[in-house]
Amino acid sequence: MFTLIRALTWAALFIGFVLVFLPARILARAGVAGPPAIGVSQVAGAVAVVAGAALATWCVASFALVGKGTPAPFDPPRRLVVQGPYRFVRNPMYVGAVGALAGAALFYQSLALAAYAGLFALVAHAFVVGYEEPVLRRSFGAGYDAYCSRVGRWWPRS
C-alpha cells in the first residue's frame, strides 16, 4: 500500500507540473483562454486527453502493484514490469502523456501546445534512450533484453 501511495504522489507531482501547470502557462502566454468553440476537434481532443490520462494511470498502478516501485528515477520498480500496458509498448506512460498533450492541443486548437507536445516527445525519447534503457539493462539484464526483442519502444509490434 505504501508503494502505491508513493507512486501516486510522484505521478500527481509529475502530471501536475508537466501535463497541467506548464500547458496552462503556455496557453496563457499564447492568449488562449478557452476553445474557440465546441466541435469535433474539442470532442476528439477530450477523448485523447482522457485516453492518455487513463493509460498513464494504468502505468503508475502497474509500476506500484507489479514492479513494487514508482515512475520516479530515484524510486524505480524493483521488478521488471512487462504486464498491463507494458505488454504492448515499452514506454506507454510517455505515450499516454504525449497523447494527452496532443489532445489538449487539439481541444484548444493551439499550435504552441502542439509544439510543447512535440518537444515533450523528443525529450522523453532522449531520456529513454540515454538514461532509462541503460539503467534497465544493468538492473534486469537478459530479462530486459528479451523484453526489448519482443516489445517495441514506442509502437506495438505485430
3-state secondary structure string, the chain?
CHHHHHHHHHHHHHHHHHHHHHHHHHHHHCCCCCCCCCCHHHHHHHHHHHHHHHHHHHHHHHHHHCCCCCCCCCCCCCCCCCCHHHHCECCHHHHHHHHHHHHHHHHHCCHHHHHHHHHHHHHHHHHHHHHHHHHHHHHHHHHHHHHHHHCECCCCCC
Distance CA 61, CA 91 (A): 14
Cβ-based burial of 140 (10 A; exposed 0-12, middle 13-18, buried ≥19): middle
Distance CA 71, CA 112 (A): 27
Q: How much is the pLDDT for 158? A: 74
Residue 145: how many CA atoms within 13 Å on its side-chain side?
A: 4
pTM for this entry: 0.91
Q: How much is the pLDDT for 151? A: 97
User: pLDDT tens per residue, the chain (158 residues)?
Assistant: 677 788 788 888 888 899 999 999 999 999 998 887 899 999 999 999 999 999 998 998 898 899 888 888 888 889 999 999 999 999 999 999 999 999 999 999 999 999 999 999 999 999 999 999 999 999 999 999 999 999 999 999 87
Q: How much is the pLDDT for 114? A: 98
C-alpha cell at 88: 504492448
Cβ-based burial of 130 (10 A; exposed 0-12, middle 13-18, buried ≥19): exposed
Q: How much is the pLDDT for 41? A: 95
Q: How much is the pLDDT for 79? A: 94
